[in-house]
């Protein structure tokens, strides 16, 4: 039976059953997505233990940190200082030097204002522009004006410029805001020229879209190859810090796997993905800093449930089941699931218990008296309601309009669930959570939209094959009557435009703690880029995702 026929069959059963009578579960045909089983041997993962938790390494790292601080203070040349800051960031050390980097940049900005005659070449301009924007300084795009043609609508520079400059310009152009035409031109110019010189410089995702922690080892080895004497201490610190932070992540992972095994959920859901390790990798990508262990624990649990519940809606549940399940989540009431098949009952109970436990843990950890579970429950309800809308479309074989699809799709992406965990787990106080929800909603929306678009770009092929009809790729193809490759290009462009809208939050006058919340929410979008860059990194987890897990969570760096 094809999946389309299955859907029809399911609908007939649904219409027979709706009307209050008890559901005969044996009559319902269930789908199966044939997702591969978990590839990680939990016993081996549970035995992960790193020597880098030992106190002696902390002392060594502190000494190296002080030496790098001296280096940062000593460098007078602005370009050399910016390059050092760039290296610190790329090797995931920025959290150790946040205050000093900010002070250095403020000082540099002041000095530049005093001496505005100093000329910069394109490489320095682009580096300066990117680093300052990253730290919230409102550098105008006009710094690139002298590289534009007279009309100001095209980049007029040598396309054979040295690769280092081209890469720097490429990176800078991704910090553009909406309607910044010069930066848009710069991006188009670099994309075109980098593509044609693909053999010399491999085409990459821009740094601004990359997950800092996933990229750290590569950056360390790049620096090692280009090593200049003065940066030796920085390199030593980066390697040691990587191993020490990884040791913390390993402890977190062990905690999560113990919880996951004890929960005993997946044994009851044969159709669903068992992705505890991959979900943990996701939360490491959102906040890798060692002090955020609790947050990673809470977020990983949420991600595991997003995946499982998504499978319940996309694969297993009949429409009647899904309406009951959604209603139970909306009412947050275990009594509502009586009529469901046992696996869905168990899924609800486990979600209910886990969410309430996480809410209590957040309250305890943060010292809040407010009922955090109400916030979490609401966001789970919104997620399930959006999944129900998609399930109805799919099971009826109905393709929504592109805009209707996206209006629902950003909610079904799970981005709001993830973002709320960021706010609850990483805010300074509860008023900050409420302020953020009131004033910065668009950031949550845009980050969620990127999840939806990247997910659709990565998974639509398999979903189309399975007979699912809701995907931005398909909706756009139908709306515009175009082929798949045209739709994919359009959606890729939408991702770029959405980043521009998110970038505006880089330049708001935020407090440092609010600035980091913005960064963590943007990190959600960055992880999505990684997971779905070459297809479905969650569904098919034995390629890039596996490599990244080994590299980030399992294998330490040899220290010479």
Ligand X SMILES: CC(C)=CCC/C(C)=C/COP(=O)(O)OP(=O)(O)O
List residues near Mg ion by CB under 5 A.
Answer: 310, 314
In the DSSP assignment, the letter for residue 142 is: G
455 in contact with ligand X (CB under 6 A): yes
Q: Does residue number 171 form part of the binding site for ligand X (CB under 6 A)?
A: no
284 sits near ligand X (criterion: CB under 6 A): no
Query: Binding to ligand X by residue 444, rule CB under 6 A?
Result: no
314 part of the interface to ligand X, by CB under 6 A: yes
Dihedral of CA 224/228/229/231: which sign?
A: negative
The SS3 call for residue 148 is strand
Q: What are phi and psi of 392, to 5 degrees?
A: -65, -45
Residues 418-437 that bind ligand X (CB under 6 A): 418
Distance CA 510, CA 516 (A): 9
How many angstroms separate the CA atoms of 177 and 80, rounded? 27
What, of Mg ion, ligand X, none, does residue 235 touch, CB below 5 to 8 Å by kind?
none
> How many residues sit in the footprint of ligand X (CB under 6 A)?
16
Among 41-49, 307-315, 436-444, 493-501, which window interacts with ligand X (CB under 6 A)?
307-315
- For residue 539, the minimal CB distance to ligand X (Å) is 6
Virtual torsion, Cα 160, 164, 168, 171, nearest 10 deg: 90
Which of ligand X, Mg ion, none interacts with 283 (beta carbon under 5 to 8 A by kind)? none
* Cβ count near 72 (within 10 Å): 18
413, 451 contact by CB (below 8 A): yes
Q: Which residues, at least 6 apart from 179, have a Cβ–Cβ distance to it below 8 Å?
A: none
- Contact partner, 317, from Mg ion, ligand X, none, Cβ < 5-8 Å per class: none
- Please state the closest distance from residue 398 (CB atom) to Mg ion, in A: 17
Q: Are 78 and 114 in contact (CB under 8 A)?
A: no
**Cross-strand pairs, 14:** none
Least spacing, CB of residue 407 vs ligand X, in Å = 15
Which uninterrupted H or E stretch holds 245?
helix 232-263
Candidates 194, 451, 474, 506; binder of ligand X (CB under 6 A) is 451
| Phi/psi of residue 341, nearest 5 degrees | -60, 150
Whole-number Cα distances in Å, 514 to 196, 535, 554: 41, 33, 32
Choices 88-96, 97-105, 348-356, 411-419; region in contact with ligand X by CB under 6 A = 411-419
Residue 455 binds what, of ligand X, Mg ion, none (CB under 5 to 8 Å, by partner type)?
ligand X
**Residue 418 touches which of ligand X, Mg ion, none (Cβ within 5-8 Å per kind):** ligand X
By C-beta, is 290 or 535 nearer to ligand X?
Answer: 535
- Nearer to Mg ion by C-beta: 33 or 102? 33
Is 87 buried (19+), middle (13-18) or exposed (0-12) by CB count in 10 A? buried
Residue 413 binding result from Mg ion, ligand X, none, given CB thresholds of 5 to 8 Å by partner type: ligand X
Q: Which of 310, 321, 394, 440 binds ligand X (CB under 6 A)?
A: 310
Q: How many residues does the chain have?
A: 560
Q: Quick one: residue 227, left, alpha or beta (phi over 0 = left, psi -120 to 50 = alpha)?
A: beta
**How large is the C-alpha radius of gyration of the chain?**
25
When CB distances are held under 5 to 8 angstroms depending on the partner's kind, the choice from ligand X, Mg ion, none that residue 412 binds is ligand X
Q: How far is the CB of 529 from ligand X (least distance, A)?
A: 11
- Going by the DSSP 8-state scheme, the letter that residue 52 receives in this structure is G
What's the min distance (Å) between Cβ of 302 and ligand X? 8
Nearer residue to ligand X within complex by CB, 223 or 488: 488
Out of ligand X, Mg ion, none, which partner does residue 414 contact, by CB within 5 to 8 A per kind?
ligand X
E-assigned strands of 448-515? none
Instruction: Please tell me whether residue 307 binds ligand X under the rule CB under 6 A.
Output: yes
- Is residue 476 within 8 Å of 402, Cβ to Cβ? yes
Provide the minimum distance between the beta carbon of 463 and ligand X in the complex, in angstroms, as a whole number. Answer: 6
Closest distance to ligand X from the beta carbon of 411 (Å) = 10
Q: Measured from the CB atom, is 168 or 413 closer to ligand X? A: 413
Backbone angles phi, psi at 155, to 5 degrees: -75, 130
Cα separation, 210 vs 68, whole angstroms: 25
Q: Give me the helices (H) in 115-180, please.
A: 122-134, 163-173
In this complex, which beta carbon is closest to ligand X, that of residue 162 or of residue 542? 542
Binding mask 461-500 for ligand X (x = CB under 6 A): --x-------------------------------------
Q: Which residue is nearest to Mg ion (CB)?
A: 314
Q: Which of 157, 247, 276, 306 binds ligand X (CB under 6 A)?
A: 306
Assess 184 for contact with ligand X (CB under 6 A): no
- What's the closest the beta carbon of residue 550 comes to ligand X, in angstroms? 20
User: Residues in the site for ligand X, rule: CB under 6 A?
Assistant: 303, 306-307, 310, 314, 412-414, 418, 451, 455, 459, 463, 536, 538-539
């Amino acid at each position: 039976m094809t999946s389309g026929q299955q859907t029809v069959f399911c609908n007939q059963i649904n219409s027979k059953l709706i009307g209050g009578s008890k559901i005969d579960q044996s009559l319902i045909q269930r789908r199966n997505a044939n997702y591969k089983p978990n590839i990680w041997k939990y016993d081996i993962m549970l035995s992960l233990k790193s020597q880098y938790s030992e106190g002696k390494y902390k002392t060594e790292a502190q000494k190296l940190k002080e030496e790098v601080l001296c280096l940062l203070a000593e460098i007078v040349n602005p370009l050399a200082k910016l390059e050092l800051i760039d290296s610190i960031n790329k090797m995931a050390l920025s959290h150790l030097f946040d205050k000093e980097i900010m002070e250095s940049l403020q000082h540099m900005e002041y000095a530049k204002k005093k001496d505005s005659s100093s000329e910069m070449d394109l490489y320095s301009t682009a580096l300066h522009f990117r680093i300052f924007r990253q730290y919230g300084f409102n550098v105008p795009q006009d710094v690139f004006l002298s590289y534009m043609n007279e009309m100001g609508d095209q980049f007029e520079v040598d396309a054979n410029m040295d690769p280092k400059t081209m890469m720097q310009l490429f990176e800078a152009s991704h910090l553009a805001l909406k309607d910044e035409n010069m930066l848009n031109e710069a991006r188009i110019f670099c994309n075109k020229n980098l593509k044609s010189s693909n053999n010399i410089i491999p085409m990459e995702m821009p740094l601004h879209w990359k997950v800092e922690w996933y990229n750290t080892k590569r950056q360390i080895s790049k620096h090692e190859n280009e090593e200049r004497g003065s940066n030796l201490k920085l390199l030593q610190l980066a390697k040691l810090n990587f191993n020490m932070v990884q040791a913390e992540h390993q402890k977190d992972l062990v905690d999560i796997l113990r919880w996951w095994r004890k929960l005993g959920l997946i044994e009851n859901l044969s159709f669903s993905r068992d992705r505890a390790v991959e979900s943990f990798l996701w939360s490491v990508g959102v906040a890798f800093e060692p002090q955020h262990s609790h947050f990673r624990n809470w977020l990983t649990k949420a991600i595991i449930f997003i995946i499982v519940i998504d499978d319940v809606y996309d694969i297993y549940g009949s429409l009647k089941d899904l309406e009951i399940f959604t209603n139970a989540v909306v009412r947050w009431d275990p009594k509502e699931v009586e009529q469901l098949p046992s696996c869905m009952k168990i899924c609800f109970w486990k979600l209910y218990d886990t969410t309430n436990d996480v809410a209590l843990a957040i309250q305890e950890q943060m010292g809040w008296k407010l009922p955090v579970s109400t916030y979490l429950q609401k966001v789970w309800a919104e997620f399930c309601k959006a999944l129900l809308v998609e399930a109805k479309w799919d099971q009826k074989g109905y393709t929504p309009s592109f805009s209707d699809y996206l209006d629902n799709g950003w909610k079904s992406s799970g981005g709001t669930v993830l973002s709320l965990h960021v706010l609850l787990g990483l805010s300074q106080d509860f008023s900050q959570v409420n302020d953020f929800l009131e004033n910065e909603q668009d950031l949550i929306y845009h980050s969620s939209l990127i999840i939806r678009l990247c997910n659709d770009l990565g998974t639509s092929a398999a979903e189309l094959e399975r007979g699912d009809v809701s995907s931005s790729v398909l909706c756009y193809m139908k709306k515009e009557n175009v082929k798949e490759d045209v739709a994919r290009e359009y959606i890729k462009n939408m991702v770029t435009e959405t980043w521009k809208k998110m970038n505006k939050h880089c330049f708001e006058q935020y407090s440092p703690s609010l600035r980091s919340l913005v960064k963590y929410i943007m990190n959600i979008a960055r992880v999505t880029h990684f997971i779905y860059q070459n297809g479905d990194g969650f569904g098919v987890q034995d390629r890039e995702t596996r490599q990244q897990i080994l590299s980030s969570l399992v294998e330490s760096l040899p220290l010479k």
